[in-house]
Amino acid sequence: MNFIGISLTHKTASIEVREALHLSKEESSELILRLKENIFSSGFVLSTCNRTEIFGFPKDGKFDFQPVLKTLLDFKHVENLKPENFVKYFSCSAVKHIFKVASGIDSLIIGDSQILGQTKDAFQLSEDLEFTDSVTKRIFDTSIKVGKLSIRETLIGEGAVTISFAAVQVVGKIFSSLENKSALVIGAGETGELAATHLRDKGIQRLSIANRTFDRAEKLAKKLNANVIEFDKLKDKLNEFDIVFSATSAEGFILEYDDIKLNMKKRKGQPICLMDIALPRDINSKASQLDNVFYHDIDSLNIIVNQNLQKRQSEIPKVEKIILSEMISFFSWYNTLDIVPTIKAIREFFEEIGNDELEKIKYKLSSDGFEKVEDMTHRLLGRLLHNPTMRLRQIAEKGTDPNEVASMSVLVKELFDLNSESHEKETK
Amino acid sequence: MRTLEFQHPPITSKFEIFSILAFAIGFSFFLLELISEVHKTGVFVIGISVFFQVLSTIFILDNYEVKEVLRNNLLGLHVISALLGYAGFTVSAVYGILFTIMYKQIKRNKFGKIFVQLPSLELLEKLSFYSVIIGFLLLTFAISIGIIWLPQAFSDFTYLDPKLISTTIVWLIFGTGILTKLVGNWYGKKVIKFFLIGYALTILSMFLANVILPSFHSFY
């Protein structure tokens, strides 16, 4: 199987290089057109912030990675990018690599939930640009199947593996539902935005944003359909919230122990979750001593993240089992592809002989007589070829024993000397 | 079934009572599960239920004299509702303990199996509170029947009977607990602590009243 590919991931390149090489959808489309023109007959390009993968079937059938690399580098110039940053795959290993990527076990965060969607998009792009054939399509379908099976049948995607998601998980263990709760996110940076998005996804009823720069708070609030609270009035309004996420880059505490104590008085002891996901911390951790105050910082949330990562790690063998079984079924199918040309060749071979012989007697018979002989010849050929054709098809469709298929194919070709026949034809 | 077989309410021996208690706890838990759709705490509650039923099954007798007064159906209602009431308090205590465990786990950053398996604190608190309310209502019902009917049935009836006093104390404790939650807006740990201490006092007062002090209320 002359399937090859190059891959640059978090394992082989720094984040700067990965980011610089990242291809947008438009860029990927353009690169595909170039590859299609010069190098591959079919394939795909997958590019995310953590990986760029280019795979396909070379037109010349050779395992030559250089043209692929060259096309990519001509297309996108990236400084400090070295050939060592790429891992090269071919044949079986290439297929296995794609399955691993789709399953999420090759991701920076094991079991990453986004990669399957990104892979699907990449495959779709190839289909849209007519950069596929039956084999690549089968690889795409099986990859997606592997990804789905991994999620469904293993725990590879279970549990929170980011700080902000872990924080939301803890909140879920304190309040039964977020639908009648209100939350405040302090800090409208990347972390704050992520936390606010998670809370929205979990169905929080009231969401407010506070940020030292008012405009940024307003921008994020607009995006998430939230309210804005002025940074200076934060402490006065704190008692209105059941959940507070703090993710600012401020030095020193924004909320002191006394602020929380006063707040709890105002809340009449109603429970409050304080998730301090900032570094350095925003809330004085002494607050955790108060009753019904659930304070967690990055360190304590990291415990959950690490636990979940470990659990996911231990699921990898199960995913690899899925990959192996899908590899077996893929290659069984692939090996049966051999039989199709064989069936075609044997039919052509017989028909040619029939036509030859008919030609010889064409002018020795009356047209009526010739028609009868012609009919008989076709019937005869049909009956003679019926059983072998059906048997070969059956073997191919079953596709369980590639060896049987291969040996049958070789036997038929040898018996009728079909190789030279078809070869002759091709060269003609 | 024993009621049908022996023609009296199933309240004539300690072990019949245990059986009812087991049934009552199981039943109240079943109701709670239906209402709350929580399915992971059953093992704790059913454990208690099984304990009482096992005791009952081992020691229960089939043939013995049943006092006339114990054959009364009104008394049956009185005892069964009181027991159901106590079952409610027991279920509440179980949820209270689970709440306390979960509360400590979260506070101490322990995110192990317990953290993963148990429902949220808010829900545990709610379940505990609901079972207290159910228990309280049933106990109120039992006391009402008792006050109306007892003076007629027993010649030596007295309001100073230890069991009456202890039950009144229990009723007052849980009544106050419910009031603080509803009116005083108490939350979380404070309410749960109150109910747990209330439950401990309940057990203690029941023990004192039933085992140590003599009373017309003792039949076995």
Count H helices, E strands: chain B?
A: 8, 0
Residue A207 reports pLDDT greater than 90: yes
Look at residue A194 and tell me if it is in a domain: yes
Interface probe, candidates B100, B107, B109, B121, chain A, greatest A C-beta count within 10 A: B109
> By the CB < 8 Å criterion, does B201 face chain A?
no
The reported pLDDT for the residue numbered B1 is 46
Q: How far is the C-alpha of A298 from the C-alpha of A283, rounded, in Å?
A: 12
Residue A313 lies in a domain: no
| Range scoring the smallest mean pLDDT among A343-352, B76-85, B112-121 | B76-85
Q: What are phi and psi of A330, to 5 degrees?
A: -65, -50
Helix (H) or strand (E) holding A6: strand A4-9
Residue B165 has pLDDT above 80, yes or no: no
CATH number where A240 lies: 3.40.50.720
Q: Cβ contacts (< 8 Å) between A274 and chain B: which residues?
A: none
Q: Which residues of A does the annotation mark as catalytic?
A: 49
pLDDT at residue number B7? 47
Say whether both A61 and A118 belong to one domain: yes
Helix (H) or strand (E) holding A38: helix A25-38
The domain boundary, picked from A107, A133, A157, lies at A157
A25, A125 Cβ separation under 8 angstroms: yes
* Coil vs helix vs strand at A160: coil
Residues A401 and A366 in one domain: yes
Whole-number Å distance between alpha carbons of A160 and A170: 10
Tokens of A284: 């004085």
Residue B54 to residue B43: CA distance in whole angstroms: 16
A224 & A295 share domain = yes
Residues A8 and A63 in one domain: yes
Looking at residue A423, its pLDDT comes to 41
Question: Which chain A residue's Cα is nearest to B184?
Answer: A268
Distance CA A5, CA A52 (A): 11
* A287/A174 same-domain check: yes
Cα B145 to its chain centre, rounded Å, is 17
Q: Does any domain span residue A328?
A: no
Backbone angles phi, psi at A176, to 5 degrees: -75, -30
State both tokens at A71: 């096309």
Instruction: Identify which of A132-141, B68-77, B130-139 has the greatest average pLDDT.
Output: A132-141
Measured from the Cβ of residue A373, the count of other Cβ atoms closer than 10 Å reads 15
Q: Are residues A222 and A361 in the same domain?
A: no
CB B196 within 8 A of CB B96: yes
Mapped onto helix, strand or coil, the DSSP state of residue A106 is coil
Print the domain residue range for A36.
Answer: 4-157
Size of interface A-B (CB pairs under 8 A): 51
- Residue B169 in tokens: 């104390």
Mean pLDDT of B93-99: 88
CA-to-CA distance for B9 and A246, rounded, in angstroms? 61
Interchain proximity A174–B111, CB inside 8 Å: no
CA B38 distance to own-chain centroid: 20
| pLDDT given for residue A87 in this prediction | 95
Which DSSP letter does residue A87 get? E
User: Does A148 share its domain with A167?
Assistant: no
Tell me, yes or no, whether A203 lies in a domain.
yes
Say yes or no to pLDDT of B185 above 80: no
Taking residues A179-183, what's their average pLDDT?
92
Give the pairing of strands A4-9 and A206-210.
Answer: unpaired
Alpha-carbon span A95 to A327, nearest angstrom: 8
CA–CA separation, B45 vs B96, rounded Å? 12
Inter-chain CB proximity B115 and A173 less than 8 Å:
yes
In angstroms, what separates the C-alpha of B26 from chain A's closest C-alpha?
A: 24
Q: In chain A, pLDDT over 90 holds for what percent of residues?
A: 55
Q: Which of A98-107, A139-148, A162-171, B31-40 has the lowest mean pLDDT?
A: B31-40
Gap between the Cα atoms of B128 and B140, Å rounded:
18
User: Distance between CA atoms of A293 and A258, rounded to whole angstroms?
Assistant: 13
- State the DSSP string of A231-263: GGGHHHHGGG-SEEEE----SS-SB-HHHHHHH
User: B108 CB near a chain A CB, below 8 Å?
Assistant: no
Mutation target to probe the A interface, by most A beta carbons within 10 A, among B95, B106, B111 is B111
Q: Name the phi and psi angles at A226, rounded to 5.
A: -120, 170
Please tell me which of the candidates B106, B122, B187 has its beta carbon nearest to residue A170. B106
Nearest to residue A181, comparing CAs of A209, A198, A206, A202? Answer: A206
> Which DSSP string do the residues of B67-127 spell out, in sequence order?
-GGGG-HHHHHHHHHHHHHHHHHHHHHHHHHHHHHHHHHHHTT--SHHHHHS--HHHHHHH
Q: What is the CATH number of the domain that holds A80?
A: 3.30.460.30
Chain B residues touching residue A294 (CB < 8 angstroms)? 106-107
Taking CB atoms and an 8 Å limit, are B188 and A271 in contact across chains? yes
CB B28 within 8 A of CB B87: yes
Task: Report which of A230, A354, A178, A26 is spatially closest to residue B120, judged by C-alpha positions.
Answer: A178
pLDDT tens for B33-68 read 665 555 555 666 666 667 666 666 665 555 444 455
Instruction: Kindly indicate whether the ipTM for this predicted assembly is greater than 0.90, answering yes or no.
Output: no
Q: Higher model confidence: residue A128 or residue B118?
A: A128
Predicted confidence band at A246 (pLDDT cuts at 50, 70, 90)? very high
Q: Tell me the pLDDT band of A77, cut-offs 50, 70 and 90.
A: confident
Q: Residues B12, B56: contact at Cβ < 8 Å?
A: no
The reply to whether A318 falls in a domain is no
- Asked if residue A91 is part of any domain, the answer here is yes
Instruction: Write the residue in B111, B115, B188 that is nearest to A292 by C-beta.
Output: B188
User: Which is more confidently placed, B151 or A286?
Assistant: A286
pLDDT at B4 over 50: no
Query: A168 and A139: one domain?
Result: no
Residue scoring higher pLDDT (A319 or B164): A319
Between CA A144 and CA A87, with CA A61 as vertex, the angle to 5 degrees is 55
- How many domains does one find in chain A? 3
Q: Quote the tokens at residue B27.
A: 């039943």
Residue A1 CA to residue A90 CA, distance in Å, equals 8
- Is B119 close to A176, i.e. CB distance below 8 A? yes
Local structure of A296: helix, strand or coil: strand
Nearest by CB to A173, from B120, B188, B189: name it: B120
Distance from CA of B170 to the nearest CA of A (A): 26
pLDDT at A208: 94
CA distance A63 to chain B (A): 50
Question: Could you tell me which residues are beta bridge partners of residue A6?
Answer: A54, A88
Residue in B47, B63, B58 with CA at minimum distance from that of residue B7: B63
- Is residue A317 assigned to a domain? no
Question: Is the pLDDT confidence value at B25 over 60?
Answer: yes
Helix B162-182 / helix B188-207 crossing angle, nearest 10 deg: 170
Predicted local distance difference test score (pLDDT) of residue A140: 95
Residue where one domain finishes, among candidates A289, A305, A321: A305
Domain end call among A268, A288, A305: A305
Percent of chain A with pLDDT over 70: 96
Query: Which ranges of A107-162 does DSSP label H, i.e. alpha helix?
Result: 115-128, 134-153
Using the predicted structure, report yes or no on whether residue B5 has a pLDDT greater than 60.
Answer: no
pLDDT (average), residues B110-114: 82
Q: Does residue A264 sit in the same domain as residue A384?
A: no
A56 with A44: CB under 8 angstroms?
yes
A362-412 pLDDT, tens digit each = 888 888 999 999 999 999 999 999 998 888 877 776 655 667 777 888 888
Average pLDDT over residues A193-207: 90
Same domain, A298 and A337: no
Supply the mean pLDDT for chain A: 89
DSSP secondary structure code for residue A263 in this structure? H
Cα gap A411→B92, rounded to integer Å: 78
Least confident window among A87-91, A173-177, B71-75: B71-75
Whole-number average pLDDT of chain B: 72
| pLDDT of the residue at A424 | 41
